Structure 1
């Protein structure tokens, strides 16, 4: 029995809620974002409270799009980059549904979708709420330096998205189906450079990509796109080059959410975007739109995460990485 890569049945996308910051709204995908904030504080006194509010608002948006009321949600699964995933936990404290907090760094959202899919596939629940959030001000303060410090950044640095994403999965038939998933393994290439996490995460993405195709006997031709979460400019190049050595030619098949969310030629974002919301914001706006329009039938989404801590990198420890994958397809029988 293969427990790493699994097919699921009767798991569908019910509703999506997305809210982004001004930098994301000003980017090339602007037309997909109806809900956005102009003020990074979102009317709050701290960035941390703003992130909590973004998470809460994303859930509210998803619930308004769904046939489910908050009282109908049977399980909620969420996580983020803030210490002890506080933004996620505090954003659902007013709800009555059961909650599971998860952490896989920038791969947290896909991990929550995997767990939600298991709950529904195994008929434990009929629905699952998956959510995440991130904030540039919170992540910079926690993992690098506060923005106010004004430190010069490296070309390989990425910019954490400000936003929130929530998604409701259901057992009831709908247009978009969850077909399968692969739970990633920890991959550590012994990199200690926290200013270039795209490079080390690329190898985790490669491992999960190959594992998914091998374990489930899949061919690259079955997918319209292989989508990575936040490898951005430098990590994406490595992902494509190393995949070619394995016999997979991805030049026309690969897209990276961190490379799509911003215009790196006109926006001051260095190597592109990152953060827990990076993958789901782009996937469930830009790529979901293409699937609903019939321009794409099946995509493989590989979310990547760097699993270092504030202490581990200061102690010069290497950065372990993870990548979780989930396969989405159009349900033409709907």
Structure 2
């Protein structure tokens, strides 16, 4: 059973395995620096469907099925799926997964949803109630623009701090044993709100939450940044990443050598004109599943912290002048089981 220590960190006794994983992205993401690491790059942004929302559902379904297939499994082999997205009421997930017949726990953690799914899934797996649990999420540039900003036909100009919502999806199949990487520990995020109200500066809104969670994990476990090959944040982008390092330095912790951000990695800001980088549920999920988990499996890297970040806002709250609360959930992923055994 998972053991709680400190302020909200759970040590996983049986170190569940990320037994299989998959990432599917759109054309824009496939043309970025990490394009070669994804399982599939879809050239049709509609994914063969009639609407953007249907496209995202198709994207998430394909990704979940790809992860299961890579693990030699079918949907019938999955005991649970923990999944969500950015669309109202998580309809991208609902309509995408409704035909698979897998018991669903729908999640909304905004762009932190992948880490939330892995956190809950690993704790459930550690309790022994399931043999296979899937954690998945997705985002689509056009569904997010329509919901949170303006329809594409509006042609609004983006600010320098704005990020580009990724058309991407990632899925991980958790199993009680198997090949690395292993999930060693989880820190559940707290809501952190610094009063940011600019919906075009998500990095600034989420960076304080990432700092809070990473500092809590390090304090709870006694670990140091140098113990990890990478401290990976979800989608702070270029602006938020700088702010995170500054906030950490003010607390006497230097993570500049270890820090990587999925939003800053997935696009080439000069060649692709994505301003402050990538965002969206699928951003951190696809980079984790396409880039980091394969490197952990081969032993190229040994330990990482994955701290996906989410802005817990809605169009209504923004229109009412509310600030943007942030949250960050953290997973310790390792090429070795607990104690290195």
TM-score category (smaller protein): over 0.9
> Equivalent of 2:301, from 283, 296, 299?
296
Task: Name 2:10's counterpart in structure 1.
Answer: 6
Report deviation, 1:291.
2.1
Matches of 2:295 and 2:253, distance apart in 1: 24
Match of 1:208 among 198, 213, 221: 213
1:311 maps to: 316
Structure 2: distance between partners of 1:272 and 1:326: 23
Distance in 2 separating the partners of 1:147 and 1:84: 22
Distance in 2, Cα, partners of 1:199 & 1:10: 33
Deviation by residue 1:185-223 (Cα, 9 ceiling, x = unmatched): 000001111010101100000000001111122222211
Structure 1 counterpart of 2:336:
331
What are the superposed Cα offsets for residues 149-189 of structure 1, whole Å, 9 maximum, x if unpaired?
A: 11011000000100221110000232210000100000000
Are 1:258 and 2:263 matched, yes or no?
A: yes
Structure 1 SS opposite 2:272: coil
> Among 165, 183, 192, which residue is 1:187 paired with?
192
> Which residue is equivalent to 2:284?
279
TM-score (norm 1): 0.97
For 1:115-194, what aligned pairs fall within 5 Å after superposition?
115-194=120-199
Instruction: Give the secondary-structure state (helix, strand or coil) at the position aligned to 1:106.
Output: coil
**1-structure distance, mates of 2:278, 2:323:** 22
Q: What is the CA–CA distance in structure 2 between the aligned matches of 1:266 and 1:74, rounded to whole Å?
A: 43
* 1:65-106 deviation line (CA, Å, top 9, x unaligned): 013221111111101100100011111111222110010000
Structure 2 equivalent of residue 36 of structure 1? 41
- Kindly indicate whether residue 247 of structure 2 is the aligned counterpart of residue 242 of structure 1: yes
Cα-to-partner distance string for 1:253-298 (whole Å, 9 max, x where unaligned) = 1000000000001102111000001112112222223323322110
1:95 & 1:37 partners in 2: Cα distance?
A: 21
**Deviation at residue 134 of structure 1 after TM alignment:** 0.6
- 2:111 is paired with a residue whose SS is helix
For residue 62 of structure 1, the aligned residue among 43, 62, 67 is 67
Match of 1:106 in 2: 111
> Would you say the 8 A contact 1:25–1:33 is kept in 2?
yes
Cα-Cα RMSD: 1.3
How many Å apart are 1:245 and its aligned residue?
A: 1.4
TM superposition score normalised by structure 2: 0.95
Is the contact between residue 115 and residue 331 of structure 2 (CA under 8 Å) also seen in structure 1? Answer: yes
Task: Could you tell me which runs of 5 or more consecutive residues in structure 1 were left unpaired when the two chains were aligned.
Answer: none
SS of the equivalent of 2:331 reads strand
Q: Distance in 2 between matches of 1:29 and 1:10?
A: 28
Does structure 2 retain, via aligned residues, the 8 Å contact 1:230–1:256?
yes
Q: State the SS of the aligned residue for 1:129.
A: strand
Q: What's the counterpart of residue 53 of structure 1?
A: 58
> Matched residue pairs, number?
334
